[in-house]
Amino acid sequence: MKKNLNKLRIDIDKIDQEILELLSQRAGIAKEIGRLKNDGVIYKPEREASLLAKLKKLNNGPLSQASINNIFKSIISNCRALEKKLSVSFLGPLGTFSEEATIKHFGENIDAIPTNSIDEVFSQVQSDIAHYGVVPVENSTEGAISRTLDLLLTKDLKICGEIILPVHHCLISKNRSLNTINKVYAHGQSLAQCHDWLMNNMPNVDKVAVTSNAEGARLAASHRNAAAIASSKAADLYKLNNLFENIEDDRKNSTRFLVVSKQEVDPSGNDKTSIVVATKNKPGAIADLVSPFAKNKVSMTKLESRPARIGLWEYVFFIDVEGHYKDKKVRLSVDQVETQASFIKLLGSYPASHDN
- Spacing of C-alpha 250 from chain mean position: 19
Q: How many CA atoms, within 13 angstroms, populate the side-chain half-sphere of residue 135?
A: 29
Strand residues in the chain grouped as ranges (E): 87-91, 111-115, 132-139, 143-144, 158-166, 170-173, 183-187, 206-210, 226-230, 241-244, 254-261, 271-278, 300-307, 315-322, 343-351
Of 147, 137, 352, the residue nearest 258 (C-alpha): 137
Strand 132-139 versus strand 87-91 pairing type: parallel
* CA separation for the pair 259, 335 (Å, rounded): 25
Active-site residue (options: 90, 122, 257, 317): 257
Active-site residue (options: 96, 115, 141, 255): 255
Residue 255 known to be catalytic: yes
Residue 257 known to be catalytic: yes
Q: What angle do CA 162, 165, 168 make, to 5 degrees?
A: 160
Strand residues in 87-198 grouped as ranges (E): 87-91, 111-115, 132-139, 143-144, 158-166, 170-173, 183-187
The catalytic residues are: 255, 257
